Amino acid sequence: DAEITQSPRHKITETGRQVTLACHQTWNHNNMFWYRQDLGHGLRLIHYSYGVQDTNKGEVSDGYSVSRSNTEDLPLTLESAASSQTSVYFCASSDQGYSTDTQYFGPGTRLTVL
């Protein structure tokens, strides 16, 4: 069955370190998204991509970067981790080039920055 996976599921790192969170989908979806989930803020969009070599900034993109070199993967990099980036991160994907399509979410990565 097609799926979307995230790794690692849990990560503890130190302030200032570079961290990369992986997202891999086997749906062959064009669109991929990264969100962070925090109490009181709900789900906020970090970056998104509508296809290979395409990336766009979301609502809270500062301190994060993504690159899309193939259809299946959209890794999220924290260039220099900060305590404010402690959060649960979700990756999602959807099929067509229309935002009305269903997004399929991964299980999440819980990141702690000490």
Partner 1 sequence: GNSVTQMEGPVTLSEEAFLTINCTYTATGYPSLFWYVQYPGEGLQLLLKATKADDKGSNKGFEATYRKETTSFHLEKGSVQVSDSAVYFCALSDLGSGNTPLVFGKGTRLSVIA
Interacting residues toward partner 1 by CB under 8 A: 33, 35, 40-45, 48, 50, 58, 90, 92, 97-100, 102-108
Output 1 or 98, the one with its CB closest to partner 1: 98
Output 5 or 80, the one with its CB closest to partner 1: 5
* 23: CB partners within 8 A, 6+ apart: 4, 5, 6, 32, 34, 73, 74, 75, 76, 91, 106
Listed residue (90, 87, 91) closest to 13, CA to CA: 87
How near is the Cβ of 17 to partner 1 at its closest, in Å? 25
Output 77 or 105, the one with its CB closest to partner 1: 105
Output 27 or 105, the one with its CB closest to partner 1: 105
How near is the Cβ of 72 to partner 1 at its closest, in Å? 17
How near is the Cβ of 48 to partner 1 at its closest, in Å? 5
Q: How far apart, in whole angstroms, are the C-alpha atoms of residue 78 and residue 17?
A: 8
CB atoms within 10 A of CB 28: 10
Q: How far apart, in whole angstroms, are the C-alpha atoms of residue 86 and residue 102?
A: 27
How near is the Cβ of 80 to partner 1 at its closest, in Å? 26
> Mapping DSSP to helix (H, G, I), strand (E, B) and coil, where does residue 70 land?
coil
